[in-house]
Amino acid sequence: MDDSLYDEFGNYIGPELADSDADDSDAAASPSPSQSRSPSPARSPSGSPNSRRPAALMDVDDDDYADAAQNAVVLAEDKKYYPTAEEVYGPGVEALVMDEDEQALEKPIVAPPRVVKFEVGTRAGATSTYASTDFILGLASNPLLVRNVALVGHLQHGKTVFMDMLVEQTHEVDTFDSEGERHIRFTDTRVDEQERRVSIKAVPMSLVLESGNGKSYLCNIMDTPGHVNFSDEMTAALRLADGAVLVVDAAEGVMVNTERAIRHAIQERLPIVVVINKVDRLITELKLPPNDAYFKLRHTLDTINDLISSCSTTVGGTQLVDPAAGNVCFASGSAGWSFTLQSFAHLYLKIHGIQFDHEKFASRLWGDLYYDHNSRTFKKKPPAAGANRSFIEFILEPLYKIYSQVVGEQQKILEITLADLGVTLSNAAYKLNVRPLLRLACRSIFGTATGFTDMLVKNIPNVKDGAARKIEHIYTGQQDSSIVDAMKKCDSHGPLMVNVTKLYPKPDCSVFDAFGRVYSGTIQTGQTVWVLGEGYSPDDEEDMTVKEVTKLWVYQARYRVPISNAPAGSWVLIEGVDASIMKTATICPMNMDEDVYIFRPLRFNTLPVVKIAAEPLNPSELPKMVEGLRKISKSYPLAITKVEESGEHTILGTGELYLDSIMKDLRELYSEVEVKVADPVVTFCETVVDTSSMKCFAETPNKRNKITMLAEPLEKGLAEDIENGLVSLDSRQKEVTDFFRQRYQWDVLAARSIWAFGPDKQVRWQTAY
């Protein structure tokens, strides 16, 4: 072989060869491992190489080719990491290649669940109660053992603190710290409520309370805000209740929202019982003598009775409050004690072992009655100069002694006083600070809130008796239907009828749970129901949706008790039906045999008089803000959100604090966008106090028709009658005419000439301010 035709690496560098010569050159350039260089292959006479090659060299070994493919070097850009779309999904699949990501880098591909920290504690906390869930459900199935009430009253009069006292007596939770200061407001579940120490939302609890004779009752109690701006929450609570518990501060007396609560409870046809709270303020703060403290309490009750009498003239008779009648409770929520005259009389007779009717004894513990120790009888005239009334002698003086001796740290005298009341404390108890010792002593004397329970049982109707009165007032259908009969009887086997008045947000604030009262039937999980909105009627069924009840709970403020069904008379929290509910709703089963009407929408005794305009700081986030406004309308019963003709989004509320809470929820809970707010605009209202001196007229464009108007005040009490629903233009013409003729001596022509009572069919008036 000519070495000049190859370089030092064995590559052919000679002249171009024919194909047959190239094959020979390749064969020569690839020597076997056993020899470094091999001779040129033999050529046939025709000159073609390999024509006489052995057969073994012509065979192809598949394993050699497989090994070569496996050991081949593949560049990175030629590697195939993923199968193509056609290989995965088959032929005919269109594959789109994006040059850049549509999703922002800071946004995760799978977003974690959104949890907003707006509630105190957890849903699962504080579930240890003295009564089991089965026992609570057993009481709920008996309408005679259930009482539905709403705690109402003025701001800072102690409603939430009083609820804490009841919670401590029914739950294994301590609501005080070691210094005796209250560190928990159990029904203030929101963080901003705890920070401001003002209730914003009405929150229910179902408590098992024991009466004086040891019988257990299920008391569904709704703690409502006392601030006048949040009176819409009180309205929603009173719609579900059969009675109102009016909480009044003994030192402050009747305030603005106290009067509003009385008027609203009477409009809802509800009986009223009173809790005179913070009685200890008369001792520790005002430092009133016992005689002056009695007159202070008496003046408060007289003022309440005057308001009840003035508001009941247009609605009907309502029982006045009287401690001797058993519908007044004296309490101190911060000290943890409460009693009625009946419970105190029962306690007094039990301590002294006297066999006497405690009801008769209690009836003599109030009013201008005096106890004569010589004759051992009660008299209307003082038996001696300087004699005290029976309420002062038997109740206030022992109470004053306990407080003065505990505060004065007079242990020996305190031991004697407590021994007279049948109480013995350990030596370690007397070493406590003033507040814990005072609380322990009072609780040992008065015990649990049995007097409060007896007051509810005696004066508040059970859910069966209260349903008949409420259905006549709030159901818009005819009263002679089978549905109404089932609701008035509180029949758990009748057709399902639920009135929803409140919506509570989920922890992620994406959806809401509906809270309402079951009037008839039994609501169950997995049940498919109709949800009727406020615009529904048998003639117009547009405002109706079909939903499935996914979960049910007994709402206990800071936790929820899951249940599978809720019978008639229960308060229940419902999941899965909130999508079509804006304010209130009626839930009924599908395929009813007769026409179903809705429950009357809520009627508020205040107006949204403050308006603000809002817009997002980033215009692209407008859809988020609109969705947040929709949730605001669900969460606040009286809030109105609308779009003006100018295109701006406005929010109407009752005051500055109300709108401040709305904007906080809008920014942090429901939209998470930065919102700009315009200056608030206040609506001014006027009233007519005298007949106008000028006539106002209007002409049609053709000058042939003229309307002349005069403004003059209505008769006294007429506006209240219209507000209370005693007359309505939806009634028959004869009923409206007879009402004005008989009650206000109108002539027939004037009664028939009424066009409307107001824009929303009821008078809305307020004095100018």
pLDDT tens-digit readout, 473-505: 899 998 999 999 999 999 999 999 999 999 999
Minimum mean pLDDT range among 42-56, 143-157, 329-343, 480-494: 42-56
pLDDT of the residue at 110:
81
Could you tell me if 210 and 333 lie in one domain? yes
Could you tell me if 630 and 580 lie in one domain? no
Closest CA to 552 of 577, 520, 533: 577
**Could you tell me the CATH number of the domain that includes residue 567?**
2.40.30.10
Could you tell me if 638 and 705 lie in one domain? no
How many CB atoms are closer than 10 A to CB 153? Answer: 29
Could you tell me if 199 and 328 lie in one domain? yes
Does 76 fall in a domain? no
pLDDT of the residue at 161:
93
CA distances from 61 to 27, 64, 108, 372 (A): 18, 5, 53, 130
Does 134 fall in a domain? no
Could you tell me if 316 and 452 lie in one domain? yes
Does 264 fall in a domain? yes
- Higher-pLDDT residue of 729 and 561 is 561
Strands (E), 388-511: 497-505
Average pLDDT over residues 716-731: 79
Name the pLDDT band for 33 (thresholds 50, 70, 90).
very low
Sign, CA torsion 476/479/483/484 = positive
d(CA 237, CA 502): 8
pLDDT of the residue at 111:
75
The percent of residues above 90 in pLDDT, for the chain, comes to 51
Average pLDDT over residues 41-66: 47
The percent of residues above 70 in pLDDT, for the chain, comes to 88
Report the chain's C-alpha Rg in angstroms. Answer: 41
Closest CA to 412 of 430, 388, 400, 433: 430
Average pLDDT over residues 124-144: 82
**Could you tell me the CATH number of the domain that includes residue 755?**
3.30.230.10
Name the pLDDT band for 46 (thresholds 50, 70, 90).
very low
State which of 51-60, 62-71, 611-620 shows the largest mean pLDDT.
611-620
Does 595 fall in a domain? no
Average pLDDT over residues 147-151: 97
Could you tell me if 408 and 506 lie in one domain? no
Could you tell me if 285 and 416 lie in one domain? yes
> H or E element: which one contains 735?
helix 733-744
Domain boundary at 38, 65, 92, which? 65
Decide: 498 and 596 in contact? Cβ < 8 Å: no
Name the pLDDT band for 306 (thresholds 50, 70, 90).
very high
Does 665 fall in a domain? yes
pLDDT of the residue at 235:
95
Average pLDDT over residues 583-603: 92
**Could you tell me the CATH number of the domain that includes residue 637?**
3.30.70.870
Does 115 fall in a domain? no
pTM (2 d.p.): 0.80
Does 94 fall in a domain? no
pLDDT of the residue at 32:
44
- pLDDT above 70 for 603: yes
- Higher-pLDDT residue of 301 and 384 is 301
Could you tell me if 291 and 404 lie in one domain? yes
Cβ partners under 8 Å of residue 710, min gap 6: 691, 692, 695, 696
* DSSP SS3 for 530: strand
Domain boundary at 637, 657, 682, which? 682
Q: How many domains does the chain have?
A: 5
- Higher-pLDDT residue of 85 and 47 is 85
Could you tell me if 509 and 624 lie in one domain? no
Does 469 fall in a domain? no
**Could you tell me the CATH number of the domain that includes residue 191?**
3.40.50.300
- Note down the domain range covering 44: 3-65
Average pLDDT over residues 287-304: 96
pLDDT of the residue at 399:
93
Q: Which residues pair with 588 in a beta bridge?
A: 530
Could you tell me if 614 and 638 lie in one domain? yes
- pLDDT above 70 for 60: no
Domain boundary at 626, 649, 682, which? 682
Minimum mean pLDDT range among 74-78, 243-247, 382-386, 713-717: 74-78
Task: Write out pLDDT tens, residues 659-704.
Answer: 999 999 999 999 889 999 999 999 877 788 888 888 888 888 888 8
Q: Which residues pair with 764 in a beta bridge?
A: none
CA distances from 149 to 311, 435, 512 (A): 20, 30, 24
Cβ partners under 8 Å of residue 115, min gap 6: 507, 508
Could you tell me if 441 and 496 lie in one domain? no
pLDDT of the residue at 50:
43
Name the pLDDT band for 53 (thresholds 50, 70, 90).
very low
Could you tell me if 644 and 716 lie in one domain? no
Task: Write out pLDDT tens, residues 164-177.
Answer: 999 988 988 766 65
